[in-house]
Chain A
Amino acid sequence: MTANAPPVMAGSRRPASPLIWLAGCAGALILWLVVYLQLASSAEWVVSLMTVERESRLGEAIAFFAYDTPKVLLLLTLVVFGMGVVRSFFSPERTRALLAGRREAFGNVAAAALGIVTPFCSCSAVPLFIGFVSAGIPLGVTFSFLVAAPMVNEVALGLLFGLVGWQVALTYLVFGLVVAIVSGWVIGRLHLEGWLEEWVRNVRAGALDLPVARITVVDRIKAGIEAVRDIVARVWIWIIAGIAVGAFIHGYVPAQALASIMGREHWWSVPAAVLVGVPLYSNAAGIIPVVQALLGKGAAIGTVLAFMMSVTALSFPEMIILRKVMTLRLIAVFAAVVASGILAVGFLFNALFD
Chain B
Amino acid sequence: MKNVKVLGSGCKRCVATAEMVQAEAARLGVPVEIEKVTDYVAIAGYGILSTPGIVIDGKVVHTGGLPKSEDLAQWLLA
Chain A interface residues (CB < 8 Å from chain B): 91-93, 96, 119-121, 123-124, 126-128, 130-132, 134, 199, 203-210, 324-325
Contacts and interface: CB of A to CB of B under 8 A. Distances in A.
Interface of B: 8-9, 11, 13, 40-41, 43-51, 60-65
Contacts of A96: 49
Given A92-B64, A210-B63, A124 B49 contact: yes
Given A199-B41, A325-B40, 18 more contacts: A91-B50, A93-B48, A93-B63, A119-B50, A119-B64, A119-B65, A126-B9, A127-B40, A127-B49, A127-B50, A130-B40, A130-B44, A131-B47, A131-B48, A132-B49, A206-B47, A208-B63, A210-B60
Contact of B49 (A131, A199, A203): A131
A124 B46 contact: no
Contact of B9 (A120, A123, A134): A123
6 contacts: A96-B49, A127-B50, A128-B50, A130-B40, A206-B46, A208-B46
B50 A134 contact: no
A103 B8 CA distance: 31
**Top 6 A-B residue pairs of the complex, sorted by shortest distance between their CB atoms:** A208-B47, A92-B49, A206-B47, A131-B49, A123-B11, A130-B44
A203 B65 contact: no
B47 A128 contact: no
Contacts of A127: 40, 43-44, 48-51
Contacts of A210: 60-63
A92 B45 contact: no
A56 B9 CA distance: 53
B47 A121 contact: no
Contact of B45 (A120, A126, A128, A203): A203
A120 B48 CA distance: 13
B5 to A, nearest CB: 13
Given A91-B50, A123-B11, A324 B60 contact: no
Contacts of A128: 49-50
Which of A127, A203, A206 is most buried by chain B, counting CB atoms within 10 A of its CB?
A: A127
A131 B49 CA distance: 6
Contacts of A124: 49-51, 64
Contacts of A209: 60
B51 A205 contact: no
Interface centre among B9, B47, B60 (most CB of A within 10 A): B47
Contacts of B9: 123, 126
Contact of A126 (B40, B46, B47, B60): B40
Contacts of B48: 93, 127, 131, 208
Contact of B44 (A92, A121, A205): A205
A201 to B, nearest CB: 12
B73 to A, nearest CB: 9
Contacts of A120: 50
Contacts of B61: 210
A121 B49 CA distance: 11
A186 to B, nearest CB: 25
A344 to B, nearest CB: 31
A205 B49 CA distance: 10
Contacts of A207: 47
B40 A131 contact: no
Nearest to B71: A213
Nearest to B40: A126
Contacts of A92: 49-50, 63-64
A208 B50 contact: no
Contacts of B65: 119
A335 to B, nearest CB: 22
Contacts of B63: 91-93, 208, 210
Contacts of B41: 199, 203
Nearest to A207: B47
A11 B62 CA distance: 22
Contacts of B46: 206, 208
